Structure 1
Amino acid sequence: MPNQNINTIDDVINALNQIITSSEKDESPLGYFAALYLQVTLRVQEGIKNNEFQNGPRMEKLDVIFAKRYIDAYTFYQVGKPVTLSWLKAFGFSYNWRPIVLQHLLIGMNAHINLDLGIAAAEVSKGHDIEDLHHDFNKINEILASMVDQVEKDLTSIWRPLKSIIKWTKKADSFLIDFSMEKARDGAWKYAKSIAGLSGNDLQKMIQKRDQKVAKIANLIINPGLIINLLFFLIRLGERGSVSEKIKILTNKHTSSPS
């Protein structure tokens, strides 16, 4: 279980590695999202070191606040403490053998981007005009978008026909577009601005309202409809490798594709 003393981006990386190691040991699909998140965090850390952001220290603070919402939710869930409904849906999903890796990633992204990102952006902007963050917020979005191709390659390593099947099946393609990172991030910024400056009960009410909305999106990822469910089931039957092997692919620790 991750150490909760998280104050720097290095602390975030250590905590994510702990989740990944535990997930590999337990053959838990919870490690899929942690593996993806680790790659994103390493890229953000690189961006901070290379002065890609207007305000590097603020970006590290945002990264820590953002990551802690996921790491805290993971830790609380492990010991039976309450978590947001969005994360409850994502974590509970891991006990079902049927979902494909992509679904596990999407449901984690849904909770973290659609709910947590806006909250983190508003929090790091306390005492300042949130618009001052907009440039760096967009920059981190560019970084996330640049990693999509690598994620697609990783998923194709797990099930090679996946990319062709998605392109061939229009309904599946539309499903993925609906949960696109771009749409989620745009919504996160709009949400961040709506809660900037709020505190106490007013803030908690807005978070609860947003959480309920995001949890409904999670339901669509869990059950996207008969046709896409059938497609995902066929993909699941074709996925190769153990859970831990798939996690290694997502963390780029593999030397060859699982067979």
Structure 2
Amino acid sequence: MAQTEQFAAHAELSRGPGDPSIGPVVERMRALSCHWPERDGVAVFNRVYLTVSEALGRRIDRGEFPDRRSAVTLGVLFAERYLDAVEKAATGARPPACWRPLFQYRRHPGVRPLQFALAGINAHIGHDLALAVVDTCRTLGCEPERLEVAFDRVGEILTLLEERIREDLMPGPDLLEIADPVTHLLGSWSLERARDGAWSAARLLWGVRGLPDLAEEFTERLDSAVGLVGRCLLTPWP
């Protein structure tokens, strides 16, 4: 779906009857889980993201976001970025550069589940989140500052989940000697720094929205840089 069509569709979502919901994108992630082997690298990330989205939906339903419409619209447009990359890869089209390493290495036997999970988070936070903030501002006709509370609270969920992911997917003590280089590599990546960078990138892109050539150049460079980090995170190990 073209980006302008996404804006229109989600503008209708935000104006439609009843409360908006992230339920439809959650269902799409659940459906994807049925099609991939458990060890598939994209499936590993999808499980992580599904958990995040379910937690986000529960917190929205409990009224923990003062501006429900902003939170839901940001959550939906954010998820659409990932789902669009999946669709492109499935149809043979080229996904954004930030996602290509994960799709290329998804079945590599030397890449551990923790690497797959963090590479997906890196692509989604480092690149997609900034663009989703801009998408949301355009859809709702607002400035980025209106989304700051929703942005920060989504980030809190991601931070807690990252801690659990590292605990669950980090190799046990019997693999410690082999895992030492992996531990060092993955320990150098920080979700908090990626979130801070995404917010700065979103504000910059919003500020230059009247200069489309500059905005496009910055977006392409951001995409490439995040893809390079992802490729490093997916370094195969014996």
TM-score bracket for the superposition, by shorter chain length = 0.7 to 0.9
Where does residue 143 of structure 1 map in the other structure? 157
Q: Distance in 2 between matches of 1:213 and 1:28?
A: 24
Q: Deviations over 1:215-258 (max 9, x none)?
A: 121232133xxxxx6xx53xxxxxxxxxxxxxxxxxxxxxxxxx
Give the partner amino acid of 2:143. D
Where does residue 25 of structure 2 map in the other structure? 12
TM-score when normalising by structure 2: 0.81
Q: Distance in 2 between matches of 1:150 and 1:220?
A: 22
Q: Distance in 2 between matches of 1:59 and 1:119?
A: 15
Q: Deviations over 1:155-186 (max 9, x none)?
A: 25xx4328x949x95x6555334312111111
Q: Distance in 1 between matches of 2:49 and 2:66?
A: 23
Where does residue 21 of structure 1 map in the other structure? 34
Consecutive unaligned residues in structure 1, runs of 5 or more: 224-228, 234-259
Q: 1:174 to 1:97 in 2, by over 3 A?
A: closer
Where does residue 95 of structure 2 map in the other structure? 83
Where does residue 71 of structure 2 map in the other structure? 59
Give the partner amino acid of 1:17. R
Q: 1:154 to 1:177 in 2, by over 3 A?
A: closer
- Is 1:68 the equivalent of 2:95? no
Q: Deviations over 1:115-148 (max 9, x none)?
A: 0001101221233221221122111111111223
Where does residue 194 of structure 1 map in the other structure? 204
1:178 to 188, 197, 207: 188
**Matched-pair contact (CA < 8 Å) for 1:23–1:29:** no
Where does residue 169 of structure 2 map in the other structure? 155
Where does residue 96 of structure 1 map in the other structure? 108
Deviation at 1:107, TM superposition (A): 1.2
Q: Distance in 2 between matches of 1:216 and 1:196?
A: 24
Paired residues in the alignment total 217
Q: Distance in 2 between matches of 1:41 and 1:70?
A: 12
**Matched-pair contact (CA < 8 Å) for 2:41–2:102:** no
Q: Distance in 2 between matches of 1:215 and 1:111?
A: 7
Give the partner amino acid of 1:68. E
1:125 to 137, 152, 155: 137
Where does residue 17 of structure 2 map in the other structure? none
Q: Distance in 1 between matches of 2:173 and 2:51?
A: 24
Q: Identical aligned pairs, as a percentage?
A: 25
The residue matched to 2:111 in structure 1 has which SS? Answer: coil
1:44-55 mapped onto 2 (5 Å cutoff): 44-55=56-67
Q: Distance in 2 between matches of 1:191 and 1:174?
A: 27
TM-score when normalising by structure 1: 0.75
**Matched-pair contact (CA < 8 Å) for 1:122–1:196:** yes
Deviates more, 1:199-208 or 1:214-223: 199-208
Consecutive unaligned residues in structure 2, runs of 5 or more: 1-5, 14-20
Q: Distance in 2 between matches of 1:113 and 1:37?
A: 11
